[in-house]
Amino acid sequence: MMKRKEFMLGAVAGLAFAAAATAGGVIDWPTAAAGPVAGVSGRLAPNAGGAGLAFAPPQGAPLSFADIFAQVAPAVVQIDVKTRIPRQPGMIQIPGTPFAIPNPNGRVPEGEDGEDGEGGATAMGAGSGFFIAANGFIVTNNHVVAEATEIMVKLADGRELEARLVGRDEATDLAVIKVEGSDFPFVNFEETAQPRVGDWVIAVGNPFGLGGTATAGIVSASGRGDIDSNTPYTDYLQIDAAINRGNSGGPTFDIYGRVIGVNSAIYSPTGGSVGIGFAIPATVAKPITDRLMRGESIARGYVGVGIQNLTREQIAALGQSETFTGAWVGQITPGGPAEKAGLQINDIITRMNGQPVRDRNDLTRRIGSVEPGQTIRLEVLRDGRLQTVNVRAGARPSQAELDADPAAPDTADREAPEGAGVSVGGLTVAPMSEVLRRRYSIPANINGLVVTGQDTVGELRFRPGFVITNGATGAIRTPADFEAAIAAARRADRKVFLVVWTPDQGSVPVAFDPPKPE
């Protein structure tokens, strides 16, 4: 499970951190009472072996990270924030995370009511950050400070300073805060020298509120673009230097002390480090934080489509070659730029402004780089033919606005009346009617062939209320259209490609082998 909001939490949830073992100030290790090892006493003097080379580090590896840490650690800070937690019946939301903890009686802990009388609880959180300029600008993660009502920064020399939010960008999970003063130690982003998989890295930060902690490892992978749908403009560096709660917003250094990334997320089934961490690369972080430091807001192009990648199987079912690339349109925002320009569900966007589209991430980032108001030329594959659609880009709404879609209708299985529909390709289907539209709460803009039976074809499970809207070469509205699409796929010796609308996922592409006719 991806843990993106990895800053240390305090007041509401609390943390019983080895309380029994450390209550008396001493940790009693299991073997502490064991007697001396037989035949061994006094100071142990390890022998490095033949010429001390048996375990020498390979060429290019540092003998120690101590000098590098000493040089850069003064620029790294601990960030403590106070956030308000909305009171919810039965649960208390943990700030900056998608998680909540039980609150059966609905009461807020004593002394934690908000001063505004709204009854919201407050909690303390902690993260990391680093000075990027001598005059007090500090880089951190957006999720560390996004909901903060108070921000305090603790420097490496022990000073504590109040900070203010300068700007933030939720789409890259970056933020800039500032403390008053001058001549602060600072570090620089490295944009020119790109880290390679296998290069050494050092992560410095404030895990679990401990402060001043360094961990080391290597770059494990690069270009991780699909780890978080809330940050679509970031290809993360994957590192195995330990990152834990509280490390969020801290820097990832190379062995020369240059900032190559901003620690942002971990992949973990337990919430703790398992050696898979993610850092926002310097090539993304520097231009964004430079703009935030200047007081600029981050505006990105937006066309209003939901896109996804097609599998090799689905591409083959469309009759395209293995080298075919593009982004499949599965959703169009009503009233958005794409709808106004005539883009349609089941279009496959193959080029943008004359350049091939590699995949969904490629298209998302290229649209985001366009200034609102500019015209984007999209080449699309529609019903087997190439067309050009010109879209005037809008401004991308906030993530909260994008997430505020109406709740999906009930997706529970509902049985159709006995005998409704006909059997085609292993599915029980019927043409759209007002009766079926009302029965399955199908939106007015969705048209096609309604699945009226509980059917499974291959590994695909179809429920009553699903709607088959398109095939590889056009719309499907009748059982005859569906039969023609199946026959065309069989003649071409490929799977059947369909666009299926579902209540819980919207339009999705599928490719399947229909049962052979008896």
Q: Is residue 273 part of a domain?
A: yes
- pLDDT value of position 77: 92
pLDDT above 50: residue 471: yes
- pLDDT value of position 91: 40
What is the widest separation between alpha-carbon atoms in the chain? Answer: 90
Q: What mean pLDDT comes out for the span 20-40?
A: 33
Least confident of 40-44, 414-418, 422-426: 414-418
Q: What pLDDT, in 10s, does the model give residues 232-277?
A: 667 788 888 888 888 888 899 988 888 999 998 776 666 666 778 8
pLDDT above 60: residue 23: no
Least confident of 121-135, 244-258, 399-413, 464-478: 399-413
- Which of 268, 293, 318 terminates a domain? The answer is 293
Q: Report which of residues 135 and 113 the model is more confident about.
A: 135
Q: Is residue 335 part of a domain?
A: yes
Q: Report which of residues 450 and 45 the model is more confident about.
A: 450
286 and 206 in a common domain: yes
Greatest mean pLDDT among 33-47, 49-63, 343-357, 430-444 lies in: 343-357
Q: Report which of residues 417 and 240 the model is more confident about.
A: 240
Whether the pTM exceeds 0.85: the reply is no
- What would the DSSP string read from start to end of 241-262? S---TT-TT-EEE-TTS-EEEE
Return the closest-CA partner of residue 172 out of 88, 234, 99: 234
Q: Is residue 28 part of a domain?
A: no
Q: Sorting pLDDT into bands at 50, 70 and 90, what band is 386?
A: very high
208 and 174 in a common domain: no
**How many folded domains does the chain comprise?**
4
- Whether residue 423 lies in the annotated active site: no
- pLDDT value of position 248: 87
The pLDDT > 90 percentage for the chain reads 23
Average pLDDT score, the chain: 76
pLDDT above 50: residue 115: no
CATH code for position 312: 2.30.42.10
Which value, in Å, is the radius of gyration of the alpha carbons in the chain? 28
- Whether residue 143 lies in the annotated active site: yes
319 and 280 in a common domain: no
* Residue 187, φ and ψ in degrees, nearest 5: -125, 170
Q: Is residue 2 part of a domain?
A: no
284 and 314 in a common domain: no
461 and 393 in a common domain: no
Q: Is residue 12 part of a domain?
A: no
pLDDT above 90: residue 293: yes
Q: Report which of residues 287 and 413 the model is more confident about.
A: 287
pLDDT above 80: residue 362: yes
- Set 128, 169, 240, 248: catalytic member: 248
Q: Sorting pLDDT into bands at 50, 70 and 90, what band is 103?
A: very low
Q: Sorting pLDDT into bands at 50, 70 and 90, what band is 485?
A: confident
- Which of 403, 433, 462 terminates a domain? The answer is 403
Q: Is residue 250 part of a domain?
A: yes
Q: Is residue 4 part of a domain?
A: no
Q: Give a three-class secondary structure readout of 27-87.
A: CCCCCCCCCCCCCCCCCCCCCCCHHHCCCCCCCCCCCCCHHHHHHHHHHEEEEEEEEEECE
- pLDDT value of position 355: 93
Least confident of 21-25, 79-83, 172-176, 355-359: 21-25
Per the structure, the complete domain to which residue 96 belongs is given by 71-179
Q: What pLDDT, in 10s, does the model give residues 329-342?
A: 988 888 889 999 99
344 and 399 in a common domain: yes
CB 489 within 8 A of CB 496: yes
pLDDT above 90: residue 56: no
pLDDT above 70: residue 24: no
343 and 315 in a common domain: yes
CATH code for position 173: 2.40.10.10
Q: Sorting pLDDT into bands at 50, 70 and 90, what band is 135?
A: very high
Least confident of 58-62, 356-360, 423-427, 457-461: 58-62
- Whether residue 347 lies in the annotated active site: no
- What would the DSSP string read from start to end of 315-362? HHHTT--TT---EEEEEE-TTSHHHHHT--TT-EEEEETTEEP-SHHH
- pLDDT value of position 399: 64
- Set 80, 128, 143, 455: catalytic member: 143
- Set 80, 128, 169, 173: catalytic member: 173
Q: Report which of residues 454 and 399 the model is more confident about.
A: 454
